[in-house]
Structure formats: structure tokens, C-alpha cells
């Protein structure tokens, strides 16, 4: 196609990994090898089973190689994403089912393909977004197994020898993990969500990415120049010179702003008229402590302890938990570290028969409900947190509280753990602060009652918005309804803050809403005492705090609470940001 006649088109999807980049398109074809089912003679059964075992070994070696390469560039937790693939290969039910089919004289390629495709189809049909996305893991394993059984060539991103942006219908975790940052500078896919494995991988590898572009794989041709903006979720096919200049200036401006924000590391999160809040970081493990310190957070406002359980097959024992909590507390001392007890369920599921799969896990037995259902396991975690609290800067927080009875029941187990440690002469902080996450409308409406039993509230906006608006926050089909500035959400936040302050306790807020610098002045005006965000977002949020006056923030909140729509609120917030910190609009 002549350069002058190349189509120019702008598409919008979901940005899942930030950055602006331009490069030629590489069309990744992911069609599987065609498998033909046929009957094998009885004397070939043993040979077919041997081929199956050889393919299992080869496939496992390939996945381990990809996982090892990933560990060299990211954290262990990110590399452990491929554990799902290894679990399929280690599943004795899968192995037994294949062998039974082969013994019934079915060729091994067909046996593997039929069984894994049936598993994937079953997962793809369930309501839960997380489980639907796991069907991609099963299909990825199936493709590798079939390729190894047939010795098929698997052309992939590993074949690239110069910089490209990968375009695909979807990307498997191993395909994303196999990307070399020098050759793959970005990717875009038809489907996907911010929680998909490929999105998590992209952020870990720091590769700009846009997903949920519907039919981008059909609209792009090999050789097309592609520009993607992972911040805004924009993809441009064959950008014009004007568009390239615009995005070039935008990328340069973002880099300049981000470099400037680094200078805020040792400065307080304080408004222009002297109102100070606490700015903390969300973490999931030891590997992020360096980032907490580097970006200037004032401790940890949300330590997601469940990732210790998710990362280690079979769980983590008391000694290992205690060691992790102690190291985090010691490295950040005297800054506070708030450890949330295990928030398993919803889209975070443990392996093991005791944790049953549910049709609607976000409304099911998750978080504190699950902990109270298994008090022995819960007490082990509470003992670990208490043991680490001897360092003096640890606080404890229960997730997904919906009624006061849950707090009373959890505290009873906490007191049992304290009594045991006292009897064993193990030191701990006897007056450890205990708080709860407010993320269910029922907790908001009974906040005055709950406040009598805790030392602080932490509003979890991701779930509070989801439950208030009845919007699955990982479902791209209803993403347009997920609105942090919805009047109902603002009233929920304000009611929680007021109830907490009436009872003399502080109120924090975490979730994606806390990391949006445009909404920070609104949250300040609503009376939030603490914000907790990802470490990398700390400088941007701190800048938003330091460029606005508290009086301005309160006026914004008062006006916003009178608005009828979320759009009106957002426009007010953007207008204020354009006046006090216009540079931040370039980053969101």
C-alpha cells in the first residue's frame, strides 16, 4: 500500500500499562494447530502414553524457562503468575483423563485437545471474571502441548529482531512473559481487562499496553505504524505528522513532570494553607518496601496479606508470615504499617478444596467471612501479626465488614491469640490498633455503631463503588457505569468520614479513586485524613495535595455534594485542577 493511502484511524480501549510509544505492527497469529481425532491400534497405546509423558516434560520445561526469564526482570510474585500453567500439568485428574482416553484408543493429540478445551469452555462459561480469564491459561497449555506433540513451529514474539508493537486478539500469559522489552515496545489486543494476566505482566515489564479494542486485530495490517497511549487507552493506526508531534510533546511533558515530582520525596502532604494529611502506600510484599521509601510514602496504609497466601502453593505458616511482617515493620519504622487480614475470595482464590468455587464470589464467602469460617487458620494469621507488632508500628485491619457482630467475633479470636502469646512469653503490642475497611453500603449506614469498636476506618473505594452502583468493576461491558464521582458514592464517603470523626477516630481511603490527582482535592474537602495509593502514585498525589488550599477543597466538596450527576462533579474537579495544577491533567 502506498504510504499516502495508508488508513489513519484512532481507537479507544482500556489503558492497562502507562506510556506512549510508536512502532511498526507485528501481527501475532494465535490459531491452534488443527487436531484430527482418530482411533489408534491397541499395540500403539503404550507408545502414545510415552509421547504424552514426553510432551508433559517438555511443556513444563518451556514454562519454567519463561518463568525464570520473567523472574530476572520482575518480582517473584509476578513470575508466579505462570504457576497456573504448571498446576494444569500437575493436575492428576487431567493426566488420568488423557491416559484413559488413550487407553480407549484415541490418539493423544485429540485426547489432550478435547480434555483441555472442555476445561477451558467450562471456565469461560462461569459468571466470575477471574475464572473466565483462567480459561486462557488452560488454552495456553493446550496450545503448547499440541505443538510439542506435533513438533509444530510456534511463531511468536520471540522471533522478532527489531522494535514492534504486538497486535493480537488476545495474549496468553506466557506470550506476554516471553516479550523482550528491546523488541516489543508495546501491545494492543481485542479483549482483556486491567486484571487479566497479560495486563499484570505488561505493568511488571513496564510495556505500554491497551486492551479491549474489540477488533483491532482485524483493522491493523502488517507494516502499519501504530501509536499507543497506555495512559489514556488510545491507539492510532498510521498516525499523521501532527498526531506524532502532539504525542511526542505529550510524552516529553509527562517525563518532565514525573522527574519534577521526584523532588517531593521528603516533603509533607500538606495543602497550601497548612492542612496536613497522611499519604501512605499500598503494598503486597517485601519487594515493594524499597518503592515505598523511594517515592516518599509515610508508611503502609494497606498491606495486602493475602498475596503471601496466593504466591505460595499450600499457604504460608505462622513463622514465615511473622518473618515477612517483621521485616516490613523494621525497614519502615517508625512509620506505621497497616496489615489487612487475608482478603481471599472475589477475584482472588486460593488453591485447595476447602475454598469452594462460587457462582457469585464477590457476594459470597470472602474476606472476613471466610476468616471467621476457619477460625484456626485466622488465629494463625492474627498470632503472626501480633508477634510482629512488638516492633511498635503495626496496626491491624479487618476487610469487608458488614455488621458489628463480625468485629466482635474477630476481636474474640484476636483476644484468644493474645492470651496464647502471653502464656508462651512471646512479646507483642497489647494495645495494637484495630481498624476495619468500609467497603459495603451496610457498613456506611451503621458506621456510628461500628466506630464504637475500632480505632480507625479505611474506605475501600474499589469495592464500595462496585457494591453501591451494582457494577462489576472488572467487567468491561459495564465499565461506563463504574463512576467514582457518582453522587451516591460521595455521600457514602462523607457519611463514613463524619461518623468516624464523631467518635474520635481517623478515616483513611484507598483504591483507584485515591490515586486520581483530579479527585484528591475533593477527597480532602470531604474530610479524609489519610490516602493510601500504589508507591509510584505517591509523588503525583502529593503534588495534588500541595498545590491546593484546604479552603478550596472544602468549597469543592460542598458544591460537589449538591450535584445531580457524576459528570458534573468530575467537571468541577477538573476545573479546579486546571487552575492549581494543570500539569497533572497530562498524567491522567
Query: Which of the residues are catalytic?
Result: 197, 510
Contact status, residue 27 vs residue 222, Cβ threshold 8 Å? yes
SS3 letters across 330-367: HHHCCCCEEEECCCCECCECCCCCCCCCCCCHHHCCCC
The CA angle 512-357-59, to the nearest 5 degrees, is 90
Residues in the chain: 588
Q: Is the dihedral of CA 189, 192, 198, 199 positive or negative?
A: positive
Strand bridging mode 337-340 / 164-168: unpaired
Contact status, residue 562 vs residue 230, Cβ threshold 8 Å? no
CA nearest neighbour of 287 among 470, 78, 440 = 78
CA distance 259 to 345: 38
Contacts 24+ apart (CB under 8 A), 264-269: 264/296, 264/539, 264/542, 264/543, 264/546, 265/294, 265/295, 265/296, 265/539, 266/296, 267/296, 267/542, 267/546, 269/298, 269/531, 269/541, 269/542, 269/545, 269/546
Contact status, residue 170 vs residue 136, Cβ threshold 8 Å? yes
In the block, residue with C-alpha cell 490516602: 531
Strand bridging mode 530-533 / 506-510: parallel
Residues 6+ apart with CB under 8 A from 324: 285, 286, 308
What number of other Cβ atoms are within 10 A of residue 412's Cβ? 12
Contact status, residue 211 vs residue 17, Cβ threshold 8 Å? no
Helix or strand run (H / E) with residue 325: helix 318-332
What number of other Cβ atoms are within 10 A of residue 47's Cβ? 12
CA distance 212 to 406: 39
Q: Which residues of 317-347 are buried (b: 16+ CB within 10 A; e: fewer)?
A: eeeebbebbbebbeebeebbbbbbbbbbbbb
Q: Is the dihedral of CA 500, 505, 506, 508 positive or negative?
A: negative
Contact status, residue 584 vs residue 576, Cβ threshold 8 Å? no
Amino acid at each position: 500500500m502506498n504510504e499516502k493511502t495508508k488508513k489513519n484511524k484512532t481507537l479507544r480501549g482500556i489503558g492497562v500499562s502507562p506510556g506512549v510509544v510508536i512502532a511498526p505492527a507485528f501481527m501475532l497469529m494465535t490459531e491452534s494447530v488443527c487436531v484430527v481425532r482418530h482411533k489408534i491400534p491397541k499395540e500403539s497405546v503404550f507408545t502414545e502414553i510415552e509421547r504424552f509423558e514426553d510432551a508433559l516434560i517438555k511443556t513444563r520445561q518451556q514454562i519454567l524457562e519463561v518463568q525464570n526469564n520473567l523472574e530476572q526482570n520482575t518480582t517473584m510474585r509476578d513470575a508466579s503468575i505462570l504457576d497456573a500453567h504448571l498446576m494444569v500439568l500437575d493436575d492428576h485428574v487431567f493426566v488420568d483423563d488423557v491416559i484413559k482416553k488413550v487407553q480407549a484408543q484415541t490418539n493423544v493429540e485429540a485426547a489432550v485437545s478435547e480434555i483441555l478445551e472442555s476445561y477451558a469452555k467450562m471456565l469461560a462459561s462461569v459468571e466470575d471474571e477471574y475464572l473466565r480469564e483462567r480459561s486462557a491459561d488452560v488454552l495456553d497449555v493446550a496450545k503448547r502441548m499440541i505443538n510439542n506433540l506435533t513438533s509444530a513451529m510456534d511463531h511468536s514474539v520471540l522471533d522478532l529482531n527489531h522494535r514492534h508493537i504486538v497486535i493480537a486478539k488476545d495474549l496468553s500469559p506466557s506470550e506476554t512473559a516471553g516479550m523482550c522489552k528491546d523488541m516489543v515496545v508495546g501491545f494492543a489486543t481485542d479483549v482483556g481487562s486491567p486484571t487479566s494476566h497479560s495486563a499484570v505482566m505488561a505493568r511488571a515489564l513496564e510495556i505500554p499496553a491497551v486492551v479491549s479494542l474489540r477488533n483491532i486485530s482485524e483493522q491493523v495490517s502488517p507494516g502499519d505504524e501504530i501509536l499507543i497511549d497506555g495512559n489514556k487507552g488510545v491507539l492510532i493506526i498510521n498516525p499523521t505528522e501532527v498526531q506524532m508531534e502532539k504525542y511526542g510533546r505529550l510524552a516529553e511533558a509527562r517525563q518532565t513532570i514525573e522527574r519534577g515530582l521526584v523532588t517531593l520525596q521528603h516533603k509533607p502532604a500538606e495543602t497550601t494553607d497548612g492542612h496536613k494529611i497522611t499519604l501512605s502506600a499500598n503494598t503486597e510484599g517485601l519487594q515493594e518496601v524499597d518503592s515505598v521509601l523511594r517515592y516518599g510514602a509515610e508508611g503502609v496504609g494497606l498491606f495486602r496479606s493475602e498475596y503471601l497466601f496466593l504466591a505460595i502453593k499450600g499457604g504460608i505458616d505462622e513463622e514465615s508470615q511473622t518473618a515477612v511482617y517483621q521485616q516490613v515493620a523494621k525497614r519502615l519504622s517508625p512509620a506505621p504499617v497497616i496489615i489487612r487480614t487475608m482478603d481471599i475470595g472475589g477475584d482472588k482464590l486460593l488453591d485447595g478444596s476447602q475454598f469452594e468455587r462460587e457462582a457469585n464470589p464477590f457476594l459470597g464467602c470472602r474476606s472476613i467471612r471466610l476468616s471467621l469460617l476457619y477460625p484456626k487458620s485466622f488465629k494463625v494469621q492474627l498470632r503472626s501479626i501480633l508477634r510482629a507488632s512488638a516492633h511498635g508500628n503495626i496496626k491491624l485491619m479487618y476487610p469487608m465488614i458488614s455488621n458489628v457482630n463480625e468485629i466482635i467475633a474477630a476481636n474474640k479470636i484476636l483476644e484468644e491469640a493474645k492470651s496464647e502469646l502471653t502464656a508462651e512469653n512471646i512479646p507483642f503490642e497489647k494495645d495494637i490498633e484495630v481498624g476495619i475497611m468500609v467497603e459495603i453500603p451496610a457498613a456506611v449506614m451503621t458506621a456510628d455503631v461500628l466506630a464504637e469498636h475500632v480505632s480507625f476506618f479505611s474506605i475501600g473505594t474499589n469495592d464500595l463503588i462496585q457494591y453501591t452502583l451494582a457494577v462489576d468493576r472488572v467487567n468491561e461491558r459495564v465499565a461506563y457505569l463504574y463512576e467514582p464521582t457518582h453522587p451516591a458514592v460521595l455521600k457514602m464517603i462523607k457519611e463514613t468520614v463524619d461518623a468516624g470523626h464523631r467518635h474520635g477516630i481517623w478515616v483513611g481511603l484507598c483504591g483507584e479513586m485515591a490515586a486520581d490527582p483530579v479527585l484528591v482535592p475533593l477527597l480532602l474537602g470531604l474530610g479524609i485524613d489519610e490516602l493510601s495509593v500504589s508507591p509510584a502514585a505517591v509523588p503525583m498525589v502529593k503534588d495534588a495535595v500541595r498545590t491546593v488550599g484546604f479552603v478550596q477543597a472544602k468549597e469543592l466538596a460542598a458544591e460537589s455534594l449538591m450535584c445531580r450527576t457524576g459528570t458534573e462533579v468530575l467537571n468541577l474537579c477538573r476545573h479546579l485542577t486546571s487552575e492549581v495544577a494543570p500539569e497533572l491533567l497530562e498524567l491522567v
